[in-house]
């Protein structure tokens, strides 16, 4: 049987699509990428027992999502789209259950940041203000890319098959500190963290770019590695 990859869904509680209704949604690219890599993608809807969901899957994918709200105010011209608190709590519980079961975890953008926060890490909540010499990390064109450097002794370098890759960039928040038990394994030229991974043997990787929208090593290799790690567990 194909490894089952559970994918958390995003919650819309702002009635953006239809008044009086909440929606769960997800970019179809995530499911396509998992299926293409040989896995069976299963959506994980918000509910009361996230641990039971994790018992039913072989691996967890935490996709991109909305913003983490900073503890202190930012200038009025900095806009955040806060992740709903119910979704943040649910995703954190999914992650905790997956870590306890020691199943493979891949976090993408918001998902990578959640991994860092769960382990005591911290974020740059708005890169242009928090890192004065940072490059633009909100590249609006779908074909726009920038290079990242990957630590040669990392699991990520082994699965990508190279130490430098071109990635897309769709974020204004980023990991500042990776948290206990994790290390930074990829950076952009300006030093912004692009990937973290667990220092132990467990397959727990967070990447800041969106591999579901990429071909080649930085895209397909990541999903194949996730599915492959599930097969070996």
Q: Is 135 a catalytic residue?
A: no
Strands 193-198 and 204-207: what pairing? antiparallel
| Active-site option among 10, 109, 198, 230 | 109
Digit-coded pLDDT (tens) for 11-27: 998 887 788 899 999 99
Higher per-residue pLDDT: 70 or 16: 70
Does residue 109 have an active-site annotation? yes
Angle (CA) 161-167-170 rounded to 5° is 150
117 and 123 Cβ atoms separated by less than 8 Å: yes
**Residue 178 token pair:** 């990776």
Residue 137 pLDDT more than 60?
yes
**Which of the 8 DSSP states describes residue 84?**
P
In the annotation, is 100 catalytic? Answer: no
pLDDT at 163: 94
Q: Which of 119, 194, 212, 230 is catalytic?
A: 212
Q: What is the 3-state secondary structure (H, E, C) of 191-218?
A: CCEEEEEECCCCCEEEECCCHHHCCCHH
What pLDDT is attached to residue 232? Answer: 65
What band does 233 get if pLDDT is binned at 50, 70 and 90? low
- Which domains are seen in the chain, by residue range? 4-232 (3.40.50.880)
The predicted pLDDT at position 97 comes to: 98
């Amino acid at each position: 049987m194909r490894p089952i990859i559970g994918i958390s869904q995003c919650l819309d509680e702002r009635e953006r699509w239809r008044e009086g209704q909440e929606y769960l949604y997800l970019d179809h690219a995530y499911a396509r990428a998992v299926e293409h890599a040989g896995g069976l993608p299963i959506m994980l809807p918000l509910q009361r027992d996230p641990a039971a969901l994790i018992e039913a899957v072989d691996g967890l994918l935490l996709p991109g999502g909305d913003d983490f709200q900073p503890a202190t105010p930012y200038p009025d011209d900095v806009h955040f789209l806060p992740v709903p608190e119910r979704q943040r709590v649910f995703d954190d519980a999914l992650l905790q259950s997956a870590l306890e079961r020691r199943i493979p975890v891949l976090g993408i953008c918001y998902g990578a940041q959640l991994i860092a926060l769960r382990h005591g890490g911290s974020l740059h909540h708005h890169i242009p203000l928090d890192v004065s010499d940072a490059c633009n990390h909100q590249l609006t064109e779908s074909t726009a890319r920038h290079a990242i450097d990957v630590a040669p002794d990392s699991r990520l370098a082994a699965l990508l098959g190279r130490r430098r890759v071109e990635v897309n960039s769709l974020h204004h928040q980023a990991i500042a500190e990776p948290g206990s038990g994790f290390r930074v394994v990829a950076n952009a030229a300006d030093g912004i963290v692009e990937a973290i991974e667990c220092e132990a043997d467990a397959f727990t990787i967070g990447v800041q770019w969106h591999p579901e929208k990429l071909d080649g090593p930085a895209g397909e290799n990541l999903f194949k590695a996730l599915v492959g790690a599930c097969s070996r567990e």
